[in-house]
Structure 1
């Protein structure tokens, strides 16, 4: 799993790749949550290179979405592959 975090203006742009399971979700939580602070206006998760998600990975995405809402930031999930769509749809996350 790789994670590239970029801040551009008020937007946090996060590019993820690989599999996101329990260990990866824990690592990502420690890396992402400090970035999501007051003043952020947008959070973009780019999922084009993510190969698989388990329930921990889905829980992480939901937590990032909820934290984004809590700080008043728009949340976008982009480019998730067709193989991830059923899992994302099941938890109410749609990719654009």
Structure 2
């Protein structure tokens, strides 16, 4: 019984991290592809990216809720958001280590 709950927790983290990895890779990839865009095209690209990231979250949560025997929905959400925590922490560390004497 206890091993089953651990499997659900780890499964939820795993599926959430898969969705979060897609989001982070799409943020990085779209940022580099849209370097020369401006105005309405850049806005439309940003809106399309936002909707695909929301759809990724919805898919992760629906899968976790539908197969509750394998995935815990709460840890799936935590796994999804964990990537953002790592990015913010990395950006903070990068900003803190930059030389500001220039």
**TM-score tier (shorter):** 0.3 to 0.5
The structure with the largest helix share of the pair is 2
**Greater RCO (CA < 8 Å, at least 6 residues apart):** 2
Normalising by structure 1, we get a TM-score of 0.34
The structure with the largest strand share of the pair is 1
The structure whose Rg is larger is 2
Normalising by structure 2, we get a TM-score of 0.32
